[in-house]
Amino acid sequence: MDVKQRLLYAIFLSSLLLSSMSSLTAQKENYNSTAYLPASWINQASESLMINSTGGNIVIPILLRGSDGPRYVCGFYCNMEGNQCVFGVLISQSRRSNDEYLQSPELVWSANRNNPVHSNATLQLRQDGDLVLANSDGTLIWSSHTRGKLVSGLKLTKMGNLVLFGPKNESIWESFDHPTDSLLLGQKLGPGQKLRASDSATNWSQGRLSLAVGSNGLSAYIESDPPQRYYVSGTNSYPFYEFRNGSLNDLTIPPASGAQFIKFEPDGHLKVYQWRDMRFVEVIDLLDPYVGDCGYPMVCGNYGVCSKGQCGCIETTNDQEKSYFSQINFRQPNLGCSRVTPIFCDDSRDHTLLELTNTSYFAVDSSLDKANMGMEDCKSKCLSNCSCKAALFYYTDQRDSVLESNGNCLLLNEVFSIINNEDNIRPPYNTTVLVKVQDVYVHSSSSSSSSSSSSSSSSSSSSSSSSSSDIKQTILGCTFAVLACVVSLICYCLILLRRILEDSEETEGHFLNQLPGMPTRYSYEKLKSMTEDFSKKLGQGGFGSVYEGVLSDGTKIAVKCLDGSGQVKDSFLAEVQIIGSIHHVNLVKLIGFCFHKLHRLLVYEYMANGSLDKWICGGKNSQSLPWNARRRIITDIAKGLAYLHEDCSHKIIHFDIKPQNILLDQNFNAKVADFGLSKLVEKDQSRVNTRMRGTPGYLAPEWLSSVITEKVDVYSFGIVMLEIICGRKNVDWSKIEEDKHLLSIFKRKAEEERLQDMVDKNNLDMLIHVQEAVEMMEIAAWCLQSDFTKRPSMSLLVKVLDGLVAPETNLDYDFTKPSVVETRAAGHLVIEADNIASQLLPSALSGPR
């Protein structure tokens, strides 16, 4: 068993240390940057030729160029399963000259992305001048169409351009003329050329988004009939766009300090990536300032409504039973919404238009045909043509609304994401989106509601016919509220929980199961059988034991049984409420729960590699993690916490960040667990009373001062960071007095400027990365500032950890200094801790349990 574990661990280690291994493998071959015809290459992943890339993708190099700085490789690029390969060009960077090192390369051009090849495919540079890619059975996949031309060879230039050149060294064909979704420094995008984004991160086929240069300058749009544009630069003074050091024509780019490329992403963003710290990081999102979070065509999918970056569906709040749209996937609202009833063209009498006021649409200012008419004419124009799925309408001059003329009417044959424009920041103002729906109820229920109300939206009734009064009735009830969707979900959850609590056992269960996206309610018997009568215990936490189990579909689960009453009841509700309604890759997912007599159980996703504490203090257990894994775990925790603090509809403070509450899945992704102690705070709520929460050793000093903010989590996170880097517990009673407390060593070593002494010495890889580890410790020190206002927010930390922002350097290493009470700075959430005095002393003195 021990041997097996060691073996598995060795495999794990080697995959994490892949970077250094791939440098070895690349050294064996001396790649050329030019090949002369005839030549041919086979897509075969022999060990010596393989270089692993990001996400487990594999590169089989053919030509290599660049020894100091940006480096390019052309070759076969295959996904992890090896069933999808393209011939393409990748960009990377060498660390220093003569370094045969190819790490984290990114694909910037490919020949056959819509038509991937498999292993044993061949690339041939034929005698007749053609460059041909064929599958192993001989089927032609791609060709440069240069047959009959005088081609001497194929070269990869130092700009990353793949060129077929002639006897006079002239270019006959080049990859720069056939861009896919990326641009390299020096590359031009001319009239007639476009970048097509990939379908998704995993499917490299071209998707529907395009970026092209035309008479209006640079424009980005989604292919549809007709295309719908979401960005246009509007200047036509450039014959082409060229990616230079520092600019893409009128768009400014940070100067390149190393390899850099522009990528048109599957979501429509146009991002610049820059090599930093051994990988590519995003340095700027070029279209964002113009387009905005909600202005991308597919940000919330078809018929999705985007509100400050959050997605929902079109809601008809006045008439709940008439819901025209439903979410495609409750857990992923950004996939968009689908019609409950499709539009039948042969029954156009039953078509009505939902009138969404205070909304906008990304293509409202686009080149789509605009017609000048009033609102009513616009409506009938859309209703009279079945291929019209929605209309956009606005008056440039509000006075025209009285005359019912001179409005702008745009018809859409396909509806992508709609923008909530309640705060009226997107011109043109007062745009109304009119979405066509199939009304199956109109005739059956018309008598009951025909007289109920008169339309307030009809300022003129000149054109109203009998069918348009039907329309107006439907329109009446239509307002949408995207945020309300989220909030109502939480409320719904709360109400259900209350009903569960009030209900006796016999009504156990069924209604909650019907709510997709919310945790499932299980019966106690079911959980008992799923866990084989609670036989496999995974661990024991502060509030109860955790058992392993299996769902009927084979998914492994962890079942937590809460024991005790009072406090447990609170924490049970808190967990179900909080975790059930939020989803993030770095937060442990709550699958279900059970509430039965005295039993309170929570069902979580199973985390194969247990809690972090088992991994960081395990020097002797030969389980100590390499640097990359530690850095990733730290970043993961930061992302999870940033989400809790800033991205949910409520601000959520965890209050108990410690290694025991960080879990690792089979791929060593870290997820924050145990929200039992967390506190849900309305975003506009400024202070909250709470009793003392958390674990001694991880408590921020401001607990003494009774001013508590989300920065207590930042402090605990700082401690956890230190523990991860140093590979030891915060307090270690086995050490001599002056080394018992990690923070006192930290202070001492910082004064001596010998922080490197603290880095975990049980792991060779940590010693290799000692400089990075010390930099990380300085970030931890920032989190540990005793004045909480000096600590960074979690979202800022995420940026710092991603290398996008420089960390604060003016730090105070006297962490134990009690914090200053008067710092009730504006903008901070303030929580008043009650009963501090009575609770503080014993716990603060007793150290970790």
Which positions lie near ligand NAG, rule CB under 6 A? 5, 8, 18, 21-22, 25, 29, 31-32, 50, 52, 56, 119-120, 136, 169, 199, 203, 205, 207, 245-246, 255-256, 357-358, 385, 387, 398, 413, 422, 424, 429-430, 479, 608-609, 666
Q: Which residues, in sequence order, are bridge partners of residue 260?
A: 274
Q: Minimal distance in Å, beta carbon 707 to ligand NAG?
A: 37
Q: Minimal distance in Å, beta carbon 530 to ligand NAG?
A: 19
Cβ distance to ligand NAG smaller for residue 430 or 445 = 430
Q: Tell me which residue has its CB nearest to ligand NAG.
A: 666
What are the angstrom distances between the C-alpha of 499 and each of 487, 524, 593? Answer: 18, 18, 15
Contacts 24+ apart (CB under 8 A), 72-81: 72/156, 72/158, 72/160, 73/31, 73/102, 73/105, 73/156, 74/156, 74/162, 75/41, 76/41, 76/43, 76/117, 76/121, 76/123, 77/53, 77/107, 77/110, 78/43, 78/45, 78/119, 79/202, 80/55, 80/56
Residues 6+ apart with CB under 8 A from 389: 343, 412, 413, 414, 415, 435, 436
Q: Minimal distance in Å, beta carbon 52 to ligand NAG?
A: 4
Task: Give Dmax (Cα) for the chain.
Answer: 91
| Number of alpha helices (DSSP H) and beta strands (DSSP E) in the chain | 19, 49
Cβ distance to ligand NAG smaller for residue 205 or 529 = 205
* Dihedral angle over CA of 776, 782, 786, 788, nearest 10: -130
Cβ distance to ligand NAG smaller for residue 224 or 523 = 224
Q: Minimal distance in Å, beta carbon 294 to ligand NAG?
A: 16
Cβ distance to ligand NAG smaller for residue 591 or 783 = 591
Q: Minimal distance in Å, beta carbon 116 to ligand NAG?
A: 9
Q: Minimal distance in Å, beta carbon 398 to ligand NAG?
A: 4
Q: Minimal distance in Å, beta carbon 728 to ligand NAG?
A: 19
Report d(CA 849, CA 836) in Å as an integer.
19
Cβ distance to ligand NAG smaller for residue 119 or 520 = 119
656 annotated active-site = yes
Q: Minimal distance in Å, beta carbon 69 to ligand NAG?
A: 7
Cβ distance to ligand NAG smaller for residue 207 or 718 = 207
Backbone angles phi, psi at 767, to 5 degrees: -70, -35
Backbone angles phi, psi at 270, to 5 degrees: -115, 105
3-state secondary structure 614-683: HHHCCHHHCCCCCHHHHHHHHHHHHHHHHHHHHHCCEEEECCCCCHHHEEECCCCCEEECCCCCCEEEEC
What are the angstrom distances between the C-alpha of 179 and each of 451, 691, 836? Answer: 61, 60, 64
| Closest-CA residue to 398 (of 420, 421, 429, 369) | 429
Do the annotations mark residue 560 as ligand-binding?
A: yes
Q: Which residues, in sequence order, are bridge partners of residue 520?
A: 592
**How crowded is residue 705: how many other Cβ atoms within 10 Å of its Cβ?**
18
Report d(CA 681, CA 653) in Å as an integer.
8
Q: For residue 275, how many C-alpha atoms fall within 13 Å in the half-sphere facing its CB?
A: 21
Report d(CA 86, CA 388) in Å as an integer.
39
- Choose, from 656, 674, 713, 765, the residue flagged as catalytic: 656
Cβ distance to ligand NAG smaller for residue 413 or 463 = 413
Cβ distance to ligand NAG smaller for residue 275 or 675 = 275
Q: Which residues are annotated as a binding site for ATP?
A: 560
Kindly list the catalytic residues: 656
Q: Which residues are annotated as a binding site?
A: 560
